[in-house]
């Protein structure tokens, strides 16, 4: 007899559904074979553990006996964790967009027994409302159409198949010119809310790739508008309700235009990208606000998100006790009872009053001021936060998705490695190394990297993004430590990408060439919630080219850029990673420091580099110039006065040698 088979899975999201009366099956051969044997359409439901509307649809429909009976009778039900199988999700999200529906989760798609999509949507209520049909009516109508009008189904299948093929056919070009890069930065800046930051309107996402692109324009041009666009955005993000002022860490996005009310789920990737961007901007601004938010966020990561073995967990849920945000919000009486006579100042700073600021409750925020207060007041606020955090610890916590994902871990490892150098925090580097070693061992059980690890088991084919993000992480650790194994690992990741992901028509597919049960292999350079793998890979290859001198890496990077170089003329909004990486490829600034890493003179030169925002720099610390690759522009040069010495090279030309912090500072600042 058919039954719910999800009890055999490890994904926390799938296990949330193991007791549903729906006869769920996991994605795989058995589900497709059953659909073919019974000649029924497949209902594909895709979500993730921290998704609020996924929980709503589950409670309303998948836990309902009558609705589940309709599903079990008329369709074959497949449940997929989109974080565990992004290769599946990206295909059917693309198909949904072609139908004319806005994408998102839960994704509800109807497929033929061969896995071909023919209709779908996202959230459906149990009865008609919100202008949407009731879910059981949808299932009945789709099943009837599949049975009675196969020609109509086939027509939809063919149209979507053609559209999916076109999606993997990008617009090529010769290059992404400096003029195009500057024009895109200008147009993006025009879309920024210069009062509150972020893209104008609501909801607001912390679109770090876009902010970095605008920040690069500031560094190139010294035009203050670019600087203000980024700093205004980051200040509001750091002081808004999207930030957890008690426990640290950023929520996924703000539902309003003020950064006040978050969608309360905390995702590993958002926090990784924000740590990296805040560090990059801190190097220029020296903002104590950014330093504090980075420190608090890493403390949250260390306290709540490290799994056994050292890998980082995926997310914390938005909901607890069936309510979104319940764990995080307060009322005035609670704050008064906990803080007593000290509550008045705390309430003023964190916007607490009797009426609340969100559904009668209060989301702690400091949006009335973009600056930290004096040291004494901040110490008082820290004491108050500690009392509230300790009290919050006794509440029922949101669920935690304990999956360790290779690509998201790569993002966090790279961010921690970067921040550890800038802030001189060896412990952060150690966290990064532990996570990197965990992924490299536990998630390679048979030699090939796998995408997801959970409950002691690694599963599911790795994606392009897994390899690209881990290669980027390896290079960040190489810069931190000088350990050659990290650079070698980055080169090995590139070799694996070439073997399993290469498209002979240019660039790389998202899924490997031996991933089973996929109707197509998508190829894109568009950023989504995370940076695109092809865009990230351009940066990885650029760094490997500069570090090794191997022309192969330059050629591979150029190939990706040419494959997608025409895309900015169609839609530049999702292309920040590609554009930023292509700028690194074109104008990489090689800083070579010759000396013993542990020597004080060497370290003083290294410190000069780390206190400057130089997103296109490649820092190479070598014991002797013999350690540089053949053909490096600094090859054959010498130490100055037998002391630790620095050269700054752009293209084939290097500066004169310098051996003092003052001289290197002048050189990096462009002084004559």
Q: Per-residue pLDDT tens for 621-659?
A: 998 888 888 889 998 888 899 999 999 999 889 999 999
- The Cα 644–Cα 605 span in angstroms is 8
307 secondary structure, DSSP code: P
Domain range 589-668, its CATH number among 3.40.30, 1.10.10, 3.30.1380, 2.20.25: 3.40.30
- The Cα 654–Cα 236 span in angstroms is 40
* Boundaries of every domain in the chain: 6-167, 178-320+401-587, 328-394, 589-668
HSE (CB half, 13 Å, CA atoms) of 42? 30
Neighbour-count burial for 552-577, b at 16+ CB within 10 Å, e otherwise: ebbebbbebbbbbbebbeeebbbbbb
- The Cα 477–Cα 144 span in angstroms is 56
Determine the CATH number of domain 6-167.
Answer: 3.40.30.10
- The Cα 576–Cα 525 span in angstroms is 9
Average pLDDT over residues 344-354: 97
pLDDT reading at 157 higher than 80: yes
pLDDT of residue 627: 86
Per-residue pLDDT band at 120 (split at 50, 70, 90):
very high
Average pLDDT over residues 415-435: 97
Task: Give percent of the chain above pLDDT 90.
Answer: 93
Domains 6-167 and 589-668 share a fold: yes
pLDDT of residue 218: 97
396 secondary structure, DSSP code: P
pLDDT of residue 131: 82
- The Cα 380–Cα 306 span in angstroms is 30
* Neighbour tally for 301: CB within 10 Å: 25
Average pLDDT over residues 138-155: 96
pLDDT reading at 306 higher than 80: yes
Share the mean pLDDT of the chain: 96
pLDDT reading at 44 higher than 80: yes
Q: Model pTM?
A: 0.96
Per-residue pLDDT band at 354 (split at 50, 70, 90):
very high
End-to-end CA distance of the chain: 80
DSSP-assigned beta bridge partners for residue 136: none
pLDDT of residue 1: 54
Q: Any idea what the Cα angle at residue 512 is, between residues 511 and 515, rounded to 5°? A: 90
- The Cα 203–Cα 255 span in angstroms is 4
pLDDT reading at 298 higher than 70: yes
Per-residue pLDDT band at 160 (split at 50, 70, 90):
very high
Angle, helices 464-481 vs 533-548, to 10°: value is: 40
pLDDT of residue 168: 77
pLDDT of residue 671: 57
Average pLDDT over residues 181-192: 98
Residue ranges in 482-592 assigned as alpha helix (H): 484-500, 533-548, 551-564, 576-587
- The Cα 337–Cα 291 span in angstroms is 31
242-280 pLDDT per residue, tens = 999 999 999 999 999 999 999 999 999 999 999 999 999
Task: Choose among 626, 620, 650: nearest CA to 638.
Answer: 626
Overall fold of domain 178-320+401-587 = Glycosyltransferase (1.50.10)
């Amino acid at each position: 007899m058919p039954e719910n088979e999800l009890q055999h899975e490890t994904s926390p999201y799938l296990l949330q559904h193991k007791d549903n009366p729906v006869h769920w099956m996991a994605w795989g051969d058995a589900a497709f074979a059953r659909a073919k044997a019974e000649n029924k359409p497949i209902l594909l439901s895709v979500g993730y553990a921290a998704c609020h509307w996924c929980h709503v649809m589950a409670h309303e429909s998948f836990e309902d006996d009558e609705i589940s009976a309709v599903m079990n009778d008329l369709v074959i039900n497949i449940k997929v964790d989109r974080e565990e199988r992004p290769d599946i999700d990206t295909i059917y999200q693309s198909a949904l967009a072609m139908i004319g529906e806005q994408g998102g989760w839960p994704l509800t798609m109807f497929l033929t027994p061969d896995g071909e999509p023919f209709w779908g949507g996202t959230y459906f209520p149990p009865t008609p409302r919100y202008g949407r049909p009731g879910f059981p009516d949808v299932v009945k109508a789709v099943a009837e159409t599949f049975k009675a009008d196969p020609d109509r189904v086939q027509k939809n299948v063919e149209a979507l198949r053609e559209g999916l093929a076109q999606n993997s056919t990008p617009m090529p070009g010769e290059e992404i010119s400096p003029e195009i890069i500057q024009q895109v930065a200008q147009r993006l800046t025009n879309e920024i809310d210069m009062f509150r930051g972020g893209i104008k309107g609501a909801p607001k996402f912390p679109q770090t790739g876009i902010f970095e692109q605008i920040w690069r324009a500031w560094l190139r041009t010294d035009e203050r508008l670019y600087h203000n666009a980024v700093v205004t955005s980051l200040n509001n993000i750091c002081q808004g309700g999207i930030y957890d002022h008690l426990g640290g860490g950023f929520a996924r996005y703000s539902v309003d235009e003020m950064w006040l009310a978050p969608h309360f789920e905390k995702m590993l990737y958002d926090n990784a990208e924000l740590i990296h961007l805040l560090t990059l901007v801190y190097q220029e601004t020296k903002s104590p606000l950014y330093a504090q938010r980075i420190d608090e966020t890493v403390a949250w990561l260390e306290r709540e998100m490290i799994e056994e073995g050292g890998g980082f967990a995926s997310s914390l849920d938005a909901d607890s006790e069936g309510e979104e945000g319940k764990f995080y919000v307060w009322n005035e009486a609670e704050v008064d009872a906990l803080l007593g006579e000290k509550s008045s100042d705390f309430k003023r700073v964190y916007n607490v009053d009797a009426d609340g600021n969100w559904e009668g409750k209060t989301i702690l925020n400091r949006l009335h001021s973009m600056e930290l207060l004096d040291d004494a007041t901040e110490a008082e606020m820290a004491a108050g936060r500690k009392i509230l955090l300790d009290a919050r610890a006794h509440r029922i916590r949101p669920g935690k998705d304990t999956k360790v994902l290779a690509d998201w871990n790569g993002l966090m490892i790279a961010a921690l490695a970067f921040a550890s150098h800038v802030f001189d925090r060896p412990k952060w580097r150690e966290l990064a190394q532990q996570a990197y070693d965990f992924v490299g061992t536990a998630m390679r059980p048979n030699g090939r990297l796998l995408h997801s690890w959970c409950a002691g088991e690694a599963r599911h084919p790795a994606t392009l993004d897994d390899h690209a993000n881990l290669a980027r992480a390896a290079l960040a650790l190489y810069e931190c430590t000088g350990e050659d194994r990290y650079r070698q690992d980055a080169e090995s990741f590139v070799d694996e990408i070439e073997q399993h992901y290469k498209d002979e028509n240019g660039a790389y597919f998202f899924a490997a060439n031996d991933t089973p049960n996929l109707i197509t292999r998508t190829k894109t350079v568009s950023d989504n919630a995370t940076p695109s793998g092809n865009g990230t890979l351009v940066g990885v290859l650029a760094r490997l080219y500069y570090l090794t001198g191997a022309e192969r890496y330059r050629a591979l990077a150029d190939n990706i850029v040419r494959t997608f170089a025409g895309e900015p003329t169609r839609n530049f909004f999702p292309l920040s990673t590609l554009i930023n990486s292509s700028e690194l490829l074109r104008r990489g600034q090689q800083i070579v420091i010759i000396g013993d890493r542990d020597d004080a003179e060497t370290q003083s030169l290294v410190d000069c580099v780390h206190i400057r925002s130089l997103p296109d720099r490649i820092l190479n610390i070598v014991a002797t110039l013999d350690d540089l690759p053949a053909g490096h522009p600094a090859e054959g040069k010498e130490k100055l006065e037998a002391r630790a010495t620095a050269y700054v090279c752009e293209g084939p030309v290097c500066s004169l040698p310098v051996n003092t912090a003052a001289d290197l500072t002048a050189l990096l600042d462009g002084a004559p």
